[in-house]
Chains A and B, each alone.
Chain A
């Protein structure tokens, strides 16, 4: 995956975006668990709010009072530094039906990583696959982006591993706690395994977001699956395909619906990315509308 896809135009568009952070666990910079819209004490002006009893009178804007004869207080932007975990599914299913699926997943991860770093957060990529845990170093600055992209380019799909097991190992091995976790996967796992994996992250008090990357052929398998013996690339399980096109499409839709419902029930933003949708459009519009970015 050469980094030619990182064009100056794309980077400019990424610069304009910010990770949306709904809540954050108290960490080194902040203590406790607070809603993200807390009025902070930084120097960056955010907005005006009507004065309520108990507000700091030093925040009252007297000029505005002189004009409107009403009391308003200034609010300031809270500066929060997050740890953003970008977890990319690197099991064998991500390499089918085409290698483009995994490539797109990596591009998404790098793009989101840049957005995070540009917003003064810390970000790293980790690969969900069997074997040793692997992740990139933490990236703190914009110039770390290209290094991140190179490391992502070298990653390959391999094998199969239960998602929940990996999460448990990663939570300990990679010391995942606090911050945000964005899982980029095709969702081709048992729903129960998927739910358990997200639960591990929830227990760790991470703000979780899920992006499902699928090819159009996976969403409409009946167009191309014309009989024969299907072989699961991860498990090796085989089955004779002899179903109607409607049955196949319904099965895929039901499976995806399960994942969506779980995420919705637990307040986890979920976005589905089709490979035929341009990457820039997905990032700037879809992720923005789904609450991933702002």
Chain B
């Protein structure tokens, strides 16, 4: 034991004061007795004053309280071996739901189930005083509110953990766990499907790899495209990627309320990504479920997605031409589609928003696209010069639909340097890769830049395909992906019930009519209900990093942060109360326990004093006079 404020021990000097007070009290106390006759021989023999302190239980209680108070003021701490603290990082990302592909090993336990079993086995071997803090990676959260050593509670928390449809980051979870501990843990246990990092991590890191290396085919994107040129042309473009080391035959189906609407088949080469278009019946509107089926598929979470089809009027188009030829070309192209609603605006003055809503702007002047809900900007070369080039189409983007991966095209291309986003369609010119079609989506606003002169290539099929694909993409909506809050509007202020895809119910507060639901951890349809009002939103799992079960990217980074405590003598110079004075020992303050003990002693003393007053049969002179009036003691005979 040690004292943090040893100077307070000077209060021990109050003990002699207590002794003096007791002696003074004993000499001043007067007790009436029936007779001194039995003690006469004692009175004759002994001197009147004897230096002897007569103590009682009350004296010891008072002395104990005084010593306890002195000790409490000196702030004692008990140095005991500090209980070991273990930070457990449990990977709950979507890839942990992977199972060995059915047909080969018959399914079996998922990686997360194996992780739970491994963790529970370690928990069974845990020392009783060892404390665990279990962090999950997706979402990053602590399973228990604080580090605890209760094995039963830890077991319950681990058993109740569930894998989510989110991407996870082991380093982030570990970092937050260390922040919650406010100290470097004695040991870190990482249970994940990622491989152990190659760099040396020291003896304090234990890596439990439960990964399943299995082939997988996943939906990595979904785009809904409404009718463009014909009323019946609603379609969904599903981007599928194979994370397999062999060819994979894939079937993608579109269904609504159990009714199959469309189906597409494809064979994917190892690692290939394709966009499959599913043409939906003309009257299709509402939520459509896209499902993927493949023979060797290790992860179920990335096989389904949902998207809402709006079968209504297409977004109005506004053409703001600068050049007359551009205007004529666009008029000809747009005129070929019956369902498109488009107008031409002169480029004088600020662009006016069309009546009734927002518009998609097609222009050959970059500044004319401001304020548009979507924009297609042509950047023709000046002067236009047709160039023969080989167009390379990036796979997986809807704009590249129906375009050959590599195609020879003669078009007036803008060869000026480009510093923007990477292109969907690029042209190889003189050994240089020049972007032709660049698509970008920022904050929900899509924009396409086409760096060629449309007037010079009015009839070129690749140009037309690129234009109409871009137009369709600009008018479409991407499916909502997970990772961010789900938004739904049209509610009154108050509580809104949320029905989750797993059937559970939740509640969220509606502020200003809009709800933002942050707990969308499972892919599926979320239904927000408030009275008669109901809104459905979808959260889709599109995460190629998680879907790639063959080559798991490592999210672990060895940390070198401020929580690395110095070792050896430097540790003894640590500041603040309760400083650990030696390696591996913690100071447990005793002040609070002492104060409670003192309070208990004082209560016992008070009780004892009242009891003594009741039991003490020999009244004091003062009490006698108080009861019977002044006492005149009889004179000695």
Residue numbers of A with Cβ under 8 A of B are: 92-94, 96-98, 159-160, 162, 186, 188-190, 215, 217-218, 221, 224-243, 247-248, 251-252, 254-256
The answer, yes or no, to whether B442 is at the interface (CB within 8 Å) is no
A240 near B37 (CB under 8 angstroms)? no
- What's the nearest-Cβ distance from chain B to residue A116, in Å? 28
Q: Give the CA-CA distance A256 to B619 in the complex, in Å.
A: 23
Q: Which residue on chain A has the smallest CB distance to residue B56?
A: A226
Given A97-B34, A97-B617: A228 in contact with B28 (beta carbons within 8 A):
yes
A217-B618, A240-B49, A251-B39 given; A160·B634 CB < 8 A: yes
Binds A, one of B13-21, B40-48, B464-472, B490-498: B40-48
Beyond A96-B618, A224-B617, A239-B43, is A218–B34 a contact (Cβ under 8 Å)? yes
Distance in angstroms from B4 CB to nearest chain A CB is 39
Instruction: Enumerate chain B residues within 8 angstroms of A237, measured Cβ to Cβ.
Output: 36, 636
CB distance from A238 to the nearest CB of B (A): 8
**Contact of A255 with B37 at beta-carbon distance under 8 Å, contacts A224-B617, A226-B54, A229-B27 already known:** yes
B11 CB, nearest partner CB in chain A, Å: 26
Inter-chain contacts of B38 with A (CB < 8 A): 188, 251-252, 254-256
List residues of chain B with CB within 8 A of the CB of A248: 39, 42
Give the nearest-CB partner of B624 in chain A: A233
List 25 interface pairs A-B (beta carbons < 8 Å), by A numbering: A97-B618, A97-B619, A224-B617, A226-B54, A229-B31, A230-B30, A230-B36, A233-B33, A233-B633, A234-B34, A234-B35, A235-B36, A235-B637, A237-B636, A239-B36, A239-B39, A239-B43, A240-B50, A241-B31, A242-B52, A243-B46, A243-B50, A251-B41, A251-B42, A254-B38
Chain B residues with CB under 8 Å of A233's CB are 32-35, 633
B29 interface hit (Cβ, 8 Å)? yes
* Alpha-carbon distance A240/B27, docked complex (angstroms): 7
Known: A93-B35, A97-B617. A229 touches B29 (CB 8 A): yes
The answer for the CA separation of A111 and B30 in the assembled complex, in Å, is 37
Q: List residues of chain B with CB within 8 A of the CB of A236.
A: 633-636
Q: Are A231 and B52 in contact (CB under 8 A)?
A: no
Q: How far is the CA of A92 from the CA of B28 in the complex (A)?
A: 23
A232-B36, A235-B36, A242-B50 given; A227·B617 CB < 8 A = no
A227–B29 touching, CB < 8 Å: yes
Chain B interface mostly helix, strand, loop or mixed? loop
How far is it, in angstroms, between the C-alpha of A256 and the C-alpha of B636 when the chains are bound? 22
* Cβ-defined partner of A228 (8 Å) among B27, B48, B637: B27
Residue B105 is within 8 A (CB to CB) of chain A in the complex? no
| Interface status of B615 (Cβ within 8 A of chain A) | yes
Partner of B617 from the list A159, A217, A228, A240 (CB cut-off 8 Å) is A217
Contacts of B26 in A (CB 8 A): 226-228
Q: In angstroms, how far is the closest chain A Cβ from the Cβ of B635?
A: 7
Residue of B nearest to A239 (CB): B43
Closest CB in chain A relative to B157 CB, distance in Å = 59
Docked Cα-Cα span, A228 to B54, in Å, equals 9
- CB atoms of A231 and B49 under 8 A apart: no
A230 touches B31 (CB 8 A): yes
Apart from A97-B617, A224-B617: 9 A-B pairs, beta carbons within 8 A: A92-B634, A227-B54, A231-B633, A232-B37, A234-B34, A235-B35, A236-B636, A243-B42, A255-B37
- Inter-chain contact A188/B37, CB cutoff 8 Å: yes
From residue A280, how far is it (CB to closest CB) to chain B in Å?
A: 24
Q: What 1/0 flags go to B432-455 for Cβ under 8 Å of A?
A: 000000000000000000000000
Q: Which residue of B lies closest to A189 (CB)?
A: B37
Q: For the complex, what is the distance from the CA of A254 to the CA of B54, rounded to whole Å?
A: 23
Chain B nearest CB from A120 CB (Å) reads 37
User: When the two chains form their complex, are residues A242 and B49 in contact, meaning their CB atoms are under 8 A apart?
Assistant: yes
With contact pairs A162-B637, A240-B48, A252-B38 given, residues A228 and B615 touching in the complex (Cβ less than 8 Å): no
Instruction: Please determine whether B34 and A225 come into contact, CB atoms closer than 8 angstroms.
Output: no
Residue in A189, A215, A229 whose CB lies within 8 Å of B30: A229
Residue B176 lies at the interface, judged by CB distance under 8 Å to chain A: no
A159 with B29: in contact, given A215-B617, A240-B49 (CB under 8 Å)?
no
Which residues of chain A are near B28, meaning CB under 8 Å? Answer: 228-229
Nearest neighbor of A244 in chain B, beta-carbon distance: B52
B574-630 at interface with A (beta carbon < 8 Å):
615-619, 621
